[in-house]
Each structure stands twice: as C-alpha cells, then as structure tokens.
Structure 1
Amino acid sequence: MVDDISHEGLRALLREEGVSFQRMKIWKTSRDLDYATKKARVEHLYAIADGEVVPEEGEPEVIFCLIEFGPLNLQPRPGR
C-alpha cells in the first residue's frame, strides 16, 4: 500500500503486472432500489476495516472483502 504514487509510477507498476489502461465508453449503474443503503453499509464496513471507525456492539471486528464481478458482457475496447 502506498500513500502517494506518480502517474508514471502507476503506469510502470501496472505494466509489470500486465495491466493496461482502457478508456471507458459506457457506464453501468445499479437498478437496485436499496443500492444507496447497501453502498453506505459497505463503505461503513470498509471504514471499520481501515481503522477509521470503531465497531459498535454487534458489528464485526474482522472484515473480509471479496469482489464478485459479473456476469456482464462487456467487450474491452482500446482507448485513445
């Protein structure tokens, strides 16, 4: 984890890992009516995990973050 990184430093790091920038041409948004509530909960859990917030009674002290992405049929397009 780093506090600060230059654009060139990030580009070099990503290139070493085989990741490239791609310009986003579309934006997906959630249709879930409870999205704002769920988002606030996730952000609160991240704050607990980062030590920014002390967990209250009944809240977890240990948090595992797993990202599930899909199924979206997005085709990568080269950026400009």
Structure 2
Amino acid sequence: MYIILVYDVNQKRTGKMLKLCRKYLNWIQNSVFEGEITEVKLKELKHRADEIMDDEDSLILFKSRESKWLEKEVLGQERSSIDTML
C-alpha cells in the first residue's frame, strides 16, 4: 500500500516522531512522509507513533493501493526525491 503521512506534534516530541517515520517512509517535507508500506509495518508504525504522541498531537494517514493512483506535483525544491534508477 502507498501512504502519505502527516503529523503535528509538540516541539518536544518532533525529533522522536521524525526519527520514527524516517525508519518506515521517505521524508519529503517537514512533518510529511510518503512511501510504500506493508500492513504489518503500518500497524507497527502506528503503534510506535501512539507511544510518542500526547493528547494534543495528531497523525494523519492518506492511503492508496498504489502510488500510480496519485498525481504528484512539486513546486520549488523537493526535499528528497524518492525516484530510484535501476
């Protein structure tokens, strides 16, 4: 499955959440990640994120079966390109 993850956490927890999300997905912009992930890995990510988060924090997931069903347009400089050359 392909997901876009967006989080908004208190500044004290930003570093922990950034580090966690980078283990599973591609960091594309501040607090925004995208990439392919299995159901098991997504469940693990959500569990670990829940342990970091407090009542005032939020995490939003946009899910799609495959990245080809989403159109991506970038204006300005892209933080991290996820295209890979074989």
TM-score above 0.5, yes or no: no
Larger-gyration structure (1/2): 1
In which range does the TM-score fall when normalised by the shorter chain?
under 0.3
More strand by share: 2
Task: Give the TM-score of the pair, scaled to structure 2.
Answer: 0.25
Q: TM-score, normalised by structure 1?
A: 0.26
Larger RCO of the pair (alpha carbons < 8 Å, separation 6+): 2
More helix by share: 2
